[in-house]
Every structure is written in C-alpha cells, then in structure tokens.
Chain A
Amino acid sequence: MIRRLIISVLLLFLCSVTAQAQDMTVQDVLQAHREALEKSSRRTIGPVIDAIADSGLPAARLVLERWRDREMWQRENDGLFFYGEPVDRSTERLFDFETGAEVGVYSTRDLDQLKPNSGIQAMIAAALVKFQLNDPDPAQRRTALEAIARSGEAAHLAPLRRSIPTETDPVLRAAKERTERLLTIAYGATDAERVAAIEHFRGSLFLDVRAALNPLVETRTVYAADLPADANIKRRLRGGSADLPVAEAFALLVDAGVVTPPPTVDERKSALIAHTRDGKVAGIPVADLNTQEIRDRAYAALAARGDVPAWDPAFSEARAVEDAPFAEVYTEPSAAVTEAAEETLRSINNTVAWNQVLDLSLDGLSLASIYFLAAIGLAITFGVMGVINMAHGEFIMMGAYTGYVVQQVIPDYTVSILVAIPLAFAVTFGAGVAMERLIIRRLYHRPLETLLATFGVSIALQQIAKNVFGTQVRPLTAPDWLDGALVLNDVVGISYIRIAIFVLALIFLGIFLFIMQKTRLGLETRAVTQNPRMAASMGINPGRVNMLTFGLGSGIAGIAGVAIGLYAKVTSELGQDYIVQSFMTVVVGGVGNIWGTLLGAGLIGFLQKGIEWFNPSNTLAAQTYMIIFIIIFIQFRPKGIIALKGRAAGD
C-alpha cells in the first residue's frame, strides 16, 4: 500500500517536472545563465552548456550550433538572446530561437556578439554530439561517430548508448556498437561491463583497440613497503634484478625517502675544492689529489673532522636495494580489468605476431622479386658467357632514365609506362649489343679483364648520366592505379607497386623459360652454354648467340630499371645500389640456371627482411650481416644453391 502511494507521488512529481519543462523556452534557460554566458569563461561555462543540451527543448540544438558558429547575439537593452544573419558589415537581422521568426534588423552597436573561444567551441561540439548521433542524415551521424572514435570522452558514452537502439543503418549500428565498447573499456561504470567489452576484442588487429587497451596495462615501479591495501600489483620486483637495475631501484629508494643518498663523486670533489686551505686539503697537498683513491682518503679525513657530510666508502647501492621490496603497480585500480586487458592483449599480440610474419613474408617476397628482376639479366650473361658485366647496374639506371624521359614527352602516366617498358628494353638491348660487339667480344678467355673493362664503361656511363641529368633525384611517377596499398588489416599491407613488380618478375620468369625452352635461340643458347666449340661445329654461330643473349640480359636490366625507378629514387647512382645485391643473387643462386637465380633472390630478399626485423633501426647492420652470411654460405656451396654438374660445369 505504502509502496503504491510512494510510486504515485513520484509519478505526480515527475509529471509536474515535465510539464514545467514543456512550459519553458530556450530563452528562459539562456536567461537563467545570462551572467555566465556574458562572461563566457571556459571554467564556468560547462554547466550552461549542459543545461541547454539537457533541457530537452527542440531549439536547444539550434542554440548550440549558432553559438558555436559565433552567430548568437544578445540585445543590449533587454539582454535577450537571438541568432543573427549579417545584412551588411554593421547590421544584423535577428531571429528568435524558438519560432524562427524574424525579430528585426539591428545595428551591431546595439548588440553584443557571443564569441566562444576555441576551448568553449570544443565543449559545445561535445554537447552537440548527442544531437548529431540521432540526426536523420546518416552522413552527419557517421561524422559524429568518427569524431567520438577519434577523441572519445566519458560524456559521450551515455548519448552513444541511447542512440544505438534507434539506429537504422546496419553498418552505422555496428560501428556505433564498436565505438561504444571502446568507450566502455575506458569509461565504463562497472568492472563487469568493462571486462565484457575488453574480452570482446580478443584477437582483434585494429590499432584503436590496442590504443584503448594499452593504457589499462600501464604500470609504474614503486617502492612497495607501504603500498595501499587495494593497490593493483602486477608483480613484485627485486632490486638489482634484470627488470630493475640497481641504479633505478636506488633512485626509487631515495625518492621514497628511505635512504639518503651518499655524496656523489662530483659532490665529494666540490667539497674537497671548497675545503682547500693553503694548497692542502686535510693535510694532503692538492697536487697529490690526482687519483680517486687519494681523493677518497682526503674526503674521509674531512668527514672525520665533521667539515663535510659523512660518507661510508664501503656503502654500496646494490646492498642497499637488495632486501628492499619493490613492485610494479598498474595505474588502473581494478584488478579484474587489468587481468582481462592483459589476457586480451596477449591474444591480440599473438594474432599480430602471425600477421607480422605474413607481412614480413610479403615484404621479403617483394624484395626478392626486385632482386630477381635486377639479377636475371646478370645471370643470363654470367651463365651463358661467363662474363661479369659490371655495367649491369648502369643498364638498370639507363632503363630508369628512359622511363623518366618518356614521361617528359608523354604526360599520361599509364601510357608513358606502357611506352617506356619496350623503349627501355630497346635502348638497353642496343647498348648491350654495342658493348658486346665493341668490348666483350675482344676479351673472351680473359674474364677478369672483362670485369675491369665493363667497370670502365660503368664509371663512364655513370658520369655521363650525371652530366646529362644532374645529380638531383628525377621523378618517375607511377600511374594512379598503382598508387596506394592493398591493406588486409592494420598489420598486413603491401603497396600496389610492389605487387606489380612481383607480377613483372613472374612474367619475366615465364618469358625467359619460354625463350630458353621453346625457341631456336634458346636451344642455341643452351648449346653454347654447354660447349661453345661443339655448338660451333654443329653450325651454330656462337658470336651471334652471345651477342643476342647479352642484348637480352641488358634489355631485361632496362625493364628492371623502369620497375625499380617507380618506387626508388632515380639518380645516376641507382644502379650502384643494386649491383652488389645482384651479384650476390647470382653467386648464391648458382650460375647458369634461372631457378638458381630465383632461389638466390628469394634467399637474399627474405634474409635481408628477416635480419631487418630483428634490428629494425639499423638497416646498415642488416646488410653487413647478410653479406657475412653470404660469404660463409659460399664456403659450403661454392658453386651456389643449384650448381651445374657434369660437362656443363666447365672445369
């Protein structure tokens, strides 16, 4: 009976409150806070914004928006608030908030403009979120949701939750639920709902999830003698262990006021200087104080006299921290929440690790395909003719510059790339054939001299490129459809250019295999590779075959140059950056076998990425270790991974 009575009284009270609210206008709310509005200070304006936003009046949103946009005016004679539209520089047309009716045109001299500063504007914007989340326009709702996701606050949580049941768009609804969970992790009222939200994200790869969880597991290390009973302790630490070095532990003790630090070396030195009397310190001549031992003795003497603070030479920081208790304490007070967060982060890190392996493999694969492209031409010439072409890197550079020149003539990037690839092949094919005719042909049987002669060509070509194109970086721009990256999730992503290079490498593998296995030229080339004299006896012209294979190898280098130029810097030193890796690829892979080159490129590409992963800050070290690895590798397989056997091996 009594309960029923109380309920009815409460209901009556509620009705009267709503009735009261219905009678109120926005103008009343504004007038109630007139003073705070006029002062407009960031410290006092908070309640005003809340009052307007929570008034439940239909015009509240309009007020907040106009206010934020600095379009709210106060009439000086009666202090009423209106929103205005400028008529000209000094007159405003005012409108009523409630009805939207025009009030009249006023000179700005009779009006005061409310000018919220950026801080207040941000507060108003936060209050507006509530309205925007329920806006009929989905685009508005999305913008508001994104704003919350970017910089969520505790105040957003309630309006966000209220807006979820009425959300009609399924995508937006899912996004809202996700954002709600992220906010709950940080600002949820009870541990249970926070834990539930945290556990929902197990194995999630999104960066914002990790950003929300990481603050929860933040810890600080403290001296743990008098910890409050409810402290959320992660673990106890011992001073001087690997996790808590002596110096840090000692600093904690000093901060906690448990020990007074003994005078440091520098302090003792200043004390000695301060107590120098007639060239002597405590009876020891200053000139003798040139070792730490004697200085310590002098200080001990001073301390014994009581002139300076006492100092125990036997004092050791390590012993001081040895038995003191230390602990790592979560800043988050709730143990249930931290436990759930640690657990979830563990599962996330697990997933992240697997995805990183995948990402690393993709990186390695793309690096391997670049090395493969760069080395394939070299492998052909080396394999077929036993000739090292030191100018190979410069052929790559020539290809890249060809691409650049084509782009100067043809402005459309897609067309220019399509033109540049065959043109680069033609240019470097010509250069290769010319070099074979003029130089290499004369130096058969003298491989070391070929190496040096082609090096002469290499420095000449490099300097010519420098003279023609200058030393600055020339752009070789990829077409739009190669921009951007294929993003699988927040961990795994690969740029389209790299995919294109991978595809290009596959295409070249195919073309090469086709030429070698299915064409007359390939047959003759294989014959010359195995035994030039015998091939010549069978009617094959080894000179022609050598010329064509050399041209082919050089031409492929030119195309590789276009591909590399798309993502690397096109300079006259472009070739130099790839030449050693190309040599390595050929040497590791084994001479005269395309599969060897493929394996070599794969090994080197994955190895380099792998080493870089262990020590990401230091790519120089990665290259150093890789080269050392290759030198050792050569010990065990001097002829490469796939070595030619039998007669084809030559010696």
Chain B
Amino acid sequence: MRDLFRNTPSLPVFIAVLVVFALGVTVLSEAYGLGVLSTSFVKTLGKTACLALVAIAMDLVWGYTGILSLGHFAFFGLGGYMIGMWLMYARTELIVLDSLAAAPLPPTPGEISDAIASQIFGVVGASDFPMVWMFAHSFWAQMALVVLVPGLLALVFGWLAFRSRVTGVYLSILTQAMTLALSLYLFQNDSGLRGNNGLSGLQNLPGADAIPQATISIWFFWASALALLLTYVVAAFVVSGTFGSVIRGIRDDEARVRFLGYPVEGFKLFVFVLTAVIAALGGALYYPQAGIINPAEIAPIASIYLAVWVAIGGRGRLYGAVIGACVVSLLSTWFTGGQAPDLNLGVYTVKWVDWWQVGLGLSFVLVTLFAPRGLGGLVDLVSHRLSPNRHGAPLGPDTGALREKEAEQ
C-alpha cells in the first residue's frame, strides 16, 4: 500500500479533492443541504463522475498500453443495458402487480410475466420475453451480467484481435467496426432490446417512488464518486508496479517487450478486459441517472469522443483522463445547453449551440499538435516536472528508437 502511494503521488491529492468535492456537493444539494445546486445539476455531476471513470479505463488501455480502442463506450453502453433491463423489468412488475391487484382472481406467475412483457415490448410490436431477458427478474443476476457480458465480449474480441497481431490503426478501425456492428444490431427491433426506442424510465428506481429524485440523485452521486475513487485506486495499482512497466513497454515498443520474453498478448488482453469491465460498471451507474439508453449512445462516435476527452486531459496520467472528461463534458453541457452567451463579432453572431462542435474539433486538433500532454500537462508546470534535456538520447513513447532530431524532421 505504501508503494502504491509512493509510486502514485497524485493518489492522495485526488482522494482529498474528491472527498472535499463530494462533501461540498452534499452540503449545497437540495436533499441534504442548502439547496443551491439543483437536482438536475447534481445528476449532471454524478454522470460526469461516471464519464471520468470510463475515461480512466480509456487512459489505461490507450494512454498506458497504447491500444487506441474505439469501442470502450460500447462496453459502457452494454453495462447500462444490462442494469437497465433489471430496472425496467422490476419497475414494470410493480406497476403490473398494482394494476392486477384489483382483478377478481389473484394473478398467476404466467399472467404477470405476460403482462410485463406486453408492457415492455408493446412499442416494438412484440409481447414475449426474448431469451436475453431470462435473468431480468433478478437484480444480482443482472449485476453479474453487467460484468460478464462486456467482459466476455472484450475477451473474445481481444483474443481474436491480439492473437492475430492486429495493432495500431488497424486495431482502432477493427474496434470501431465492432462498435458499429453492436449498435446496428441493437437498432433492430427484433434484437430483443426494444430497437431504437432503447430502455427508458430508468431513473425511477423500483420501490422507491416515495423517495424524492433530489435524494436519489445525491445517492447516485455518492455511488458514482465512490466508484470513481475505487477505479482510480485500482488503476493506480495496475500501473504502479512491474505490470505497469510492462504495459508501458508494450505501448512504446511491443516487439522489444515480446523479445524480452513477456507474453504481450496476455498483458494486452488483461488490460482490455479489465477496462471493458470498468467501463461497463461506469455505464451501470450512469444510465440510471440519465434515465434512458438507446443504441445511438453506443455508436462509434461516442467512443471517439472518449478518446478526445483523454487526449485533451492528457494521456498516460490518470488524473489527466479525469480532468479531460470532466472539463470537456461539463463544457459541452454548458455550450450545447444554450446557457453560454452568444459571441457578437459585429458581422456575425456566434451562437455556441451551433459552433461549439467546431470549437471542440479545432481545439482538439490544437491540443494534439501543440500540447500532446493535454490539460494534465499544466500540472507539470506547477510541480516543475519538465521533460529533461535529452541531449539527443532516445525519445521514448511512439517515436521508438528515433533520435530527437530525426523525430522533429
């Protein structure tokens, strides 16, 4: 444990900031405090914590292991779908039981199941439970699926991809294809998950109708913050020891690590599956707060944005991913929500709802070009951890064995 803290100096700072922040939000919240922060804003903060969580996963797989996966938001969405199935089933069951209570005969299990099925699948013109809903009645089974389904998908896909030594941009394209295939599959009405309607009403926890949303939102915020904290600790643990050195070695030069005798595929697969599971857990916390999940959330573009957050925040450092996800997603909410004031240029008024995407795209290009360390690089200025003058020594990441001068050409 001491090693962990020594190898990850950011860990105590991060824990302290997160705890102070969570306490601050609680004090200012409607449910337990002054009521300065609206319920919807608390929800936004809770959701942002989940996004930061999945950004850490992305940082692990991309910033540390060098696999630019464009599929981690698909795992995130799958986690959301798995928990969403239970939420929808359980809540519909309560509603159905309520409406059947007045019936002259007490309902049989078969009747209850039929009624729930026709309630849930009415929108896609079906009235039977598909096979995939087999465990939807059980919270624990469905929680297990949150981990198992994305984990198995990542395992199978990763095994196939890494085994055939697909690397670099090829791998990125392949993960993007996987994500596209998954979202297209879910878009079908007969996928068993309500097609493009997705799962909705997830914010209503079954049996918690009496509890106001303000209270539920702060609970979810705490849960998300705790999950973020745990993820940070786990991620810090993974990257701090020998394991961390090996995966960084894989990122910098895969062939060398392989020649040193490390089973590169196994390391990559482990990181890929672990981050997929983390992402899925993030999704399972995110979507009850968002209230709705549909296949559009899984589309490849979402996963690319995830990479954008990590890049803007700063790859290869855990807090960078958190900063990137928080800053970009909160700014996005602010700009696209229409709250930002218009910018009057005299000849043309910039409406941020229209131009935010352009700004984001361009700033992303600028960050990639001129500040590859991202926002996290600002921390280096404070902590005076500047890159050493190498005097022509090897550069390290990405450029491999190139000398400084060669790389600059």
Contact status A638-B166, CB under 8 Å: yes
Q: Give the nearest-CB partner of B399 in chain A.
A: A445
Question: Chain B contact residues: over half helix, strand or loop, or mixed?
Answer: helix
Q: Does A290 contact B (CB under 8 A)?
A: yes
Q: Does B407 contact A (CB under 8 A)?
A: yes
Q: Does A457 contact B (CB under 8 A)?
A: yes
Query: B161, B304, B400: which has the most chain A beta carbons within 10 Å?
Result: B304
Q: Does A630 contact B (CB under 8 A)?
A: yes
Q: Which residues of B contact A158 (CB under 8 A)?
A: none
Contact status A273-B368, CB under 8 Å: no
Q: Which of A460, A628, A631 contacts B357 (CB 8 A)?
A: A460
Complex: how many Å from CA A473 to CA B163? 44
Contact status B365-A439, CB under 8 Å: yes
Q: Which residues of B contact A18 (CB under 8 A)?
A: none
Complex: how many Å from CA A439 to CA B357? 19
Q: Which of B335-389 contact A (CB under 8 A)?
A: 354-355, 357-358, 360-365, 368-369, 372
Given contacts A452-B311, A452-B368, contact A635 B106 (CB under 8 A): no
Q: Which residues of A contact B363 (CB under 8 A)?
A: 456
Complex: how many Å from CA A463 to CA B399? 33
Complex: how many Å from CA A276 to CA B398? 80
Contact status A467-B105, CB under 8 Å: no
Q: Does A448 contact B (CB under 8 A)?
A: yes
Complex: how many Å from CA A466 to CA B357? 11
Q: Which residues of A contact B110 (CB under 8 A)?
A: 292
Complex: how many Å from CA A446 to CA B68? 12
**How many chain A residues touch B (Cβ–Cβ < 8 Å)?**
58
Q: Which of A275-303 contact B (CB under 8 A)?
A: 276, 286-292, 295
Q: Which segment, of B53-61, B167-175, B225-233, faces chain A?
A: B167-175
Complex: how many Å from CA A463 to CA B372? 24
CB B300 to nearest CB in A, in angstroms, measures 7
Q: Which residues of B contact A461 (CB under 8 A)?
A: 361
Q: Give the nearest-CB partner of B185 in chain A.
A: A624
Q: Which of A286, A443, A451, A630 contacts B169 (CB 8 A)?
A: A451
Contact status A448-B178, CB under 8 Å: no
Q: Which segment, of A30-38, A164-172, A215-223, A615-623, faces chain B?
A: A615-623
Q: Which of A291, A388, A466 contacts B172 (CB 8 A)?
A: A388
Q: Which of B173, B300, B307, B308 contacts A388 (CB 8 A)?
A: B173
Complex: how many Å from CA A634 to CA B174? 9
Q: Which residues of B contact A460 (CB under 8 A)?
A: 357-358, 360-362, 365
Contact status B188-A618, CB under 8 Å: yes
Q: Does A49 contact B (CB under 8 A)?
A: no
Complex: how many Å from CA A463 to CA B179? 23
Query: B300, B307, B361: which has the most chain A beta carbons within 10 Å?
Result: B361
Q: Give the nearest-CB partner of A269 in chain B.
A: B105
Complex: how many Å from CA A347 to CA B164? 48
CB A571 to nearest CB in B, in angstroms, measures 15
Given contacts A453-B365, A587-B170, contact A287 B106 (CB under 8 A): yes
Contact status B173-A456, CB under 8 Å: no
Given contacts A287-B106, A627-B177, contact A455 B166 (CB under 8 A): no
Contact status B407-A445, CB under 8 Å: yes
Q: Which residues of B contact A467 (CB under 8 A)?
A: 354-355, 358
Given contacts A443-B369, A459-B357, contact A295 B105 (CB under 8 A): yes
B45-56: contact bitstring with A at CB < 8 Å (1 yes, 0 no)? 000000000000
Contact status B108-A290, CB under 8 Å: yes
CB B214 to nearest CB in A, in angstroms, measures 35
Contact status A448-B361, CB under 8 Å: no
Contact status A442-B369, CB under 8 Å: yes
CB B239 to nearest CB in A, in angstroms, measures 19
Q: Give the nearest-CB partner of B178 in chain A.
A: A631
Contact status B165-A286, CB under 8 Å: no
Q: Which residues of B contact A638 (CB under 8 A)?
A: 164-166, 170
Contact status A448-B68, CB under 8 Å: yes
Q: Give the nearest-CB partner of A627 in chain B.
A: B181
Q: Does B402 contact A (CB under 8 A)?
A: yes
CB A284 to nearest CB in B, in angstroms, measures 11
A569-602: contact bitstring with B at CB < 8 Å (1 yes, 0 no)? 0000000000010011001000000000000000
Q: Does A449 contact B (CB under 8 A)?
A: yes
Q: Does B212 contact A (CB under 8 A)?
A: no
Contact status A627-B308, CB under 8 Å: no
**How many chain B residues touch A (Cβ–Cβ < 8 Å)?**
56
Complex: how many Å from CA A458 to CA B307? 14
Contact status A456-B361, CB under 8 Å: yes
Q: Which residues of A contact B368 (CB under 8 A)?
A: 443, 449, 452-453, 456
Q: Does B184 contact A (CB under 8 A)?
A: yes
Complex: how many Å from CA A390 to CA B361? 12
Q: Which residues of B contact A288 (CB under 8 A)?
A: 106
Q: Does A179 contact B (CB under 8 A)?
A: no
Q: Which of B66, B163, B308, B400 contacts A455 (CB 8 A)?
A: B308
Contact status B181-A628, CB under 8 Å: yes
Q: Give the nearest-CB partner of A583 in chain B.
A: B173
Q: Does A272 contact B (CB under 8 A)?
A: yes
Q: Which residues of A contact B123 (CB under 8 A)?
A: none
CB B190 to nearest CB in A, in angstroms, measures 8
Contact status A449-B106, CB under 8 Å: no
Q: Give the nearest-CB partner of B187 in chain A.
A: A620
Q: Does A475 contact B (CB under 8 A)?
A: no
CB A528 to nearest CB in B, in angstroms, measures 14
Q: Does B180 contact A (CB under 8 A)?
A: yes
Q: Which residues of A contact B157 (CB under 8 A)?
A: 631
Q: Does B392 contact A (CB under 8 A)?
A: no
Q: Which residues of A contact B161 (CB under 8 A)?
A: 631, 634
Contact status B355-A587, CB under 8 Å: no
Given contacts A388-B173, A623-B184, A630-B177, contact A459 B361 (CB under 8 A): yes
Q: Which residues of A contact B362 (CB under 8 A)?
A: 456, 460
Q: Give the nearest-CB partner of B163 in chain A.
A: A635
Contact status B364-A452, CB under 8 Å: yes
Q: Which of B108, B177, B304, B372 contacts A631 (CB 8 A)?
A: B177
Q: Does A428 contact B (CB under 8 A)?
A: no
Complex: how many Å from CA A574 to CA B357? 17
Contact status A446-B399, CB under 8 Å: yes
CB A272 to nearest CB in B, in angstroms, measures 6
Q: Give the nearest-CB partner of A289 in chain B.
A: B105
Contact status A624-B173, CB under 8 Å: no
Complex: how many Å from CA A630 to CA B175? 12
CB B188 to nearest CB in A, in angstroms, measures 5
Complex: how many Å from CA A635 to CA B308? 28
Q: Which residues of A contact B166 (CB under 8 A)?
A: 634, 638
Q: Which residues of B contact A632 (CB under 8 A)?
A: 160
Contact status B180-A457, CB under 8 Å: no
Q: Does A225 contact B (CB under 8 A)?
A: no
Contact status A623-B105, CB under 8 Å: no
Q: Which residues of B contact A455 (CB under 8 A)?
A: 304, 307-308, 364
Q: Which of B100-123 contact A (CB under 8 A)?
A: 104-110
Q: Give the nearest-CB partner of B295 in chain A.
A: A620
Query: Which 6 pairs from chain A and chain B are nearest by CB?
Result: A460-B361, A456-B364, A463-B357, A627-B181, A290-B106, A459-B361
Name A's B-contacting residues (CB within 8 A): 269, 272-273, 276, 286-292, 295, 382, 386, 388, 390, 439, 442-443, 445-449, 451-453, 455-464, 466-467, 580, 583-584, 587, 618, 620-621, 623-624, 627-628, 630-632, 634-636, 638, 651
Can you identify 18 A-B contacts, CB atoms within 8 angstroms?
A269-B105, A272-B105, A290-B106, A292-B108, A292-B110, A439-B365, A445-B402, A447-B169, A448-B168, A451-B68, A457-B361, A458-B361, A466-B354, A587-B173, A621-B184, A624-B184, A627-B177, A631-B178
Name B's A-contacting residues (CB within 8 A): 66, 68, 104-110, 157, 160-161, 163-166, 168-170, 172-174, 176-178, 180-181, 184-185, 187-188, 190, 255, 300, 304, 307-308, 311, 354-355, 357-358, 360-365, 368-369, 372, 398-400, 402, 407
* Given contact pairs A451-B172, A620-B184, a sample of 17 additional A-B residue pairs in the complex whose CB atoms are under 8 Å apart: A287-B106, A289-B105, A289-B106, A290-B106, A290-B107, A291-B109, A292-B108, A448-B169, A448-B172, A452-B364, A457-B361, A460-B357, A587-B174, A618-B188, A621-B188, A632-B160, A638-B170
